[in-house]
Structure 1
Amino acid sequence: MAVIDFINAENKTYKGMKRAISYILNPEKTEPHLISGHNCDPENAYYEFVLTKRHFKKENGRQFIHFVHSFAPYEKVTPEQVHEIAKELMQADIFKGFQVVAATHTDKDHLHTHFIINTVNAETGLKWKQSREQLQVIKDYSDQLCRNHGLQVIKGEQGNYKTRGEYRSHKKGQSWKYELFLAVKACMRNSISKEDFISNMNRLGYSVNWTDERKYITFTTPEGKKCRNRKLYPPERFTKENLLKTFEMNKKYQDKKVLDERIELLFTLIRLLSINGNNVNSKYPLTSLEGQVLKDKVKEMQKGEGLDWEHESEREL
């Protein structure tokens, strides 16, 4: 199953566009045979994008679109297969006349392809108009390509497409949903069964209503707010079917002892945060821990140095 994630980075300057193209073509992340262009030469994509904009006198506003096409670590695909799907995706009617450069990255535990689109159409001069309908068209075409290549596709909700920026929004009143997203993601990665997942969610303070009679799972936060799994982004990743598939993969390929240690580490960090943290940190501990703090502590444990929990609460998290 492939997931599409639109990147809401700085995209209104030539400098930002050049930086984005350079990033996806970084030789430390990809290889020459995993780079392709649609209506442009990848190595000269930046200059060709600029020439198109100047030709049609459209150099203002959004300069480029950046999205990532990702496959789960357990998908049995090669970098070449992932890139072939990327090349086929660029042939979709929605990209007709647009210049696109794509590079498949192999530097992470999951294979993924970055796409950079020139917002000015090289044939018509019209600008790319991003809408939820367009995002759904790309997603549907991606699903069809995955089926054509014999890959699993999880049926999700129509129209429930969100950009990364929308979902990462921490505006007042929305942080509870992002905190829930982080909780579900952490528990699904460290559980080997439905029962194990529900138990871990309960330990984080969430109740889970998951029954065969109901189509969706309903999560209830410690504050009593309710949210169905179809409202989490991306919805395909959090369907009942995909959660169960993830548990199966964890059970088959992961060491249960390691999974238990990881989830216990998370619980311990949350307890420490509640001791030291302010009201915001205590209310949304996973949001507070997200990023370098948790990564550093996990690396510390993996090195075998251990953690001095008795004195850890005296340090700044």
Structure 2
Amino acid sequence: MQIKTPERLTRSVKYILNPKKTNVPYVETEKDFPVTFTEDKKMMQLVSGHQISNVNYADQEFFLTKIMANASNGNPDNSDMNNPNRVMAHHIVQSFAPDENLTPEEIHELGRKTVLELTGGDHEFIVATHVDQDHIHNHIIFNTTNSTTLKKFRWQKGTAKSLKYISDKHADIAGANILSNTMKNSYKKYSAYQRKNNFKIEIKERLNFLLKHSTSISDFKEKAKALNVIIDDTGKNVKYRLADMEQKRNTRDDTLSKRGKYSISNIEKIVSKNVSVFSQSEIKNEYEKFKVEKSDDFEMKILVEDWQVKEETKNGIYIDIDYGLLNSGAILVPSHQVNKLNDGNYNIFIKKKDFFYFTNSDDATKNKFMTGNTVAKQLSHDNQHLVLHKNQYISKLDQIIKDFEYLSLKGVSTGQQFSDLKKQFEKQVHETEKELSVLDEKISRLNKIISAIDGLSSDDLRKVETSEAILSDLKIDKSTKRGDLNKTIEEVKFERQVLNKQFHDIVEKYKTYQGVKENVRDRENDTIKNKEVKR
């Protein structure tokens, strides 16, 4: 909440310092809380300040700092004291669950740590912990004028998000529960980030599942209801909406696919080829299984050593990490993406497009999202362990084999549904072979770069000139370290080795399945011939 007038600031300070809201029975503590007596009971008031001499006069101390700032800049129009459009202070409320297992004093300390990190410790502030309701909560008011530079604190687009992540982090480390209604950007939702902001992704995923497991348009529509997809086909275009998400506008089929994949006529054409599908009673559970398997999939596996982990909590691990020059902070990797090893180290499993929120405890203006790809590179750089990549084609081939196995269990080895899946498999095999060639080219290029880097130190001038020409042609800096290149080439070689092995294993599975199918077909033909002979 913004405070824009001196009168409002004075009222706010008086409100949050109310002894009826902040007094608790006295206990021994390292904090210098004010001591009071109520009906002969020794009490202490859960209020404190930073760069404040007396919390009861915090508003006046804020004013003095602002008057000094006004005198320094010499522009009365920029005065917080005289201009009602300028923000004098920010008022923050930090709430905790009613059944919280922390003491009021510990909750107060969480508020102090949160505002210290948000402001960098250069702004006056007061913290008051209210204990008069069923849930304990902190009130924080901080001066927008920096006590050191006399410049203003700018509450920008990402500041609220930064505040929530900082609060989450300190609450999690202390063992507090993270309230979903106040911590809307908690990491639990990061994996659904795109789907919450782009419903098309989730709609297409559900429709694609239904296209594989419906046998008619009526069957498709009934199963769509089970997956919370609302279909309106009364107009020229089919319109889709997710009933279990806050989707305000319908999504037209032509915005999902330019080729009309999700039009009614095309749906009818596709599902009419299906022979064996999940029933209406099975569809929801099977889709949820599919979603779990997909979310558990990963692209990169990284070893994190114990010295890189700042804290381990029930929600995951906080990892110390650098994000650029002189910018150190921490990220949270959630527990479902972490395996703790017997030696105290950790394996984390992430995807390139995952998002992790980086918090710099010394400068909150540097807080920002990091992609999984950036996180992997930085962690690997810090501990010199290889990033193990799981190539995307492995998951694609695995899924097709699962579909083959499903049809096999249902006794389906012919028909359009089987034929389409076979074509899909053959196309994927071709694309995987191309991907293996791309990895070969990448390895060849890296070898070329390494040989040129080595050539720079040659005593032969011609070799040096040739090496410089190669690096210039490949747009590689001559200062590139050989060790970094060696690590990169090992990662690419490992990725290719794993993909190649999985590729051949899956192809063999397919051949085995095809062999069984051929045997079944031969036996069926023999049976038909025998019947004809008997006639």
Question: Shorter chain as normaliser: what TM range?
Answer: 0.3 to 0.5
Structure with the greater alpha carbon radius of gyration: 2
Q: Which has the higher strand share?
A: 2
TM, length-normalised to structure 2? 0.28
